[in-house]
Amino acid sequence: MATLDRHHIPLGVFYALATTVVASTAAATVKYISAEGLSPWLIVWVQYGLCTLLLLPWLCRHGPRALATQRPLLHTVRSLGGWLGFTCYYLALPHIPLVDATLLRSAAPLWVPLVVLVGMQQRIPAVRWIALLGGFLGVLLILRPGQDGIHGGHLLGVIAGLALAVSMATTRALSTSEPANRVLFYYFGISFVASTPMGLAHLQPVSPQALAGMTYVGLSIFVTMVLYTRAYSHAPTTLIAPLSYAAVPVAGLLDWWLWRQLPDGVALAGVALVMASGVLAVLVGQLRSGPETPERPRSDH
């Protein structure tokens, strides 16, 4: 894929912010149609079915050889991590504020070093432990465990972030040898198969409004992938990656506009701490990797 001009910073920022808007509005759509009685399990199943169908033309053009891989286990782990992340995220949305669910899922970059430590036995630099501990404290401020325990929706949000971290770590490992479309096809196909039992178990009549919402949610993955790719083509990672946390205030605005929900002071402190720790983790990771060079876009969903 040709690399675009990497020095058009305003355009890169625009694409990055557009990515967060599309992703946040898709999450708000899931929350809205779930509140109307549509099962999140069905939404996940339709999402991955639609995404798999959209990649079939690519498979038809290149044939089955395009799927030949020597890393099937890594594809499976990456795919199930992404599937579990989206599934837990969608299951959490009907039960907790959108901003809480978005923030807990967006904490994934903080958990990546733990995934790398446990799954790949790689050492975590001391400065990343600082970011990890800061993010963990921020998550605790949001969860606020007490005598009544932690809300199940918040636990689902934490699992969504951890699962997304697995997906991100394994996607980076796959990107050294696997083309992006192959990674995506395995991701969508395996996720569709994993979603099928619960999707079929929750089949129900769907109104035209809900069908339009599910279609938008499914297409949003492709739209965000295109915007995400263009953002990184125009601006450096040190600028674009932290902008992913713009999804949190966007989710807060949607929470206020659609559901009249606003986080209290303690929750806002937790949000600020997680966002600051996440930005620190991104910047430290980029500085340790050295000067940026044009790279193949990743598919961290």
- Whether pLDDT at 2 is above 60: no
What is the helix (H) or strand (E) element at residue 292, kind and residue range?
A: none
Half-sphere exposure of 267 (CA within 13 A, CB side): 17
Which pTM value belongs to this model? 0.87
Q: What is the pLDDT of residue 112?
A: 82
What pLDDT is stored for residue 173 in this prediction?
A: 86
Predicted pLDDT of residue 243: 82
**DSSP states of 178-246 as a string?**
S-HHHHHHHHHHHHHHHHHHHHHHT-----HHHHHHHHHHHHHHHHHHHHHHHHHHHS-HHHHGGGGGG
Secondary structure (DSSP) of 50-67: HHHHHHHHHHHHH-GGGG
Q: How confident is the model at residue 65 (pLDDT cuts 50, 70, 90)?
A: very high
Contact 3, 294 (CB under 8 A): yes
Mean pLDDT, the chain, as a whole number?
Answer: 86
Q: Is 293 exposed, middle or buried (0-12, 13-18, 19+ CB in 10 A)?
A: exposed
The model's pLDDT over 220-230, given as tens digits with 9 standing for 90+, comes to 988 988 888 78
Say what angle helices 9-35 and 247-254 make with each other, to 10 degrees.
Answer: 40
CA distances from 276 to 24, 131, 139, 279 (A): 20, 8, 12, 5
pLDDT surpassing 50 at residue 297: no
Both structure tokens of 101: 């669910």
Angle at 104 between CA 101 and CA 109, to 5 degrees: 140
Confidence class for position 118, pLDDT limits 50, 70, 90: confident
Q: Check residue 96 and give its pLDDT.
A: 92
How far is 180 from 198, CA to CA, in rounded Å?
Answer: 28
* 220, two tokens: 């949003």
Q: Can you tell me the distance from the alpha carbon of 96 to that of 90, in angstroms, rounded to the nearest whole number?
A: 11
The long-range contacts involving 3-7, CB below 8 angstroms and separated by at least 24 positions, are 3/233, 3/294, 4/230, 4/233, 4/234, 5/233, 5/234, 6/233, 6/234, 6/235, 6/236, 6/294, 7/234
- Vertex 87, ends 133 and 178: CA angle to 5°? 80
Give the whole-angstrom CA distance, residue 35 versus residue 40.
Answer: 10
Q: How far apart are CA 184 and CA 40, in angstroms?
A: 22
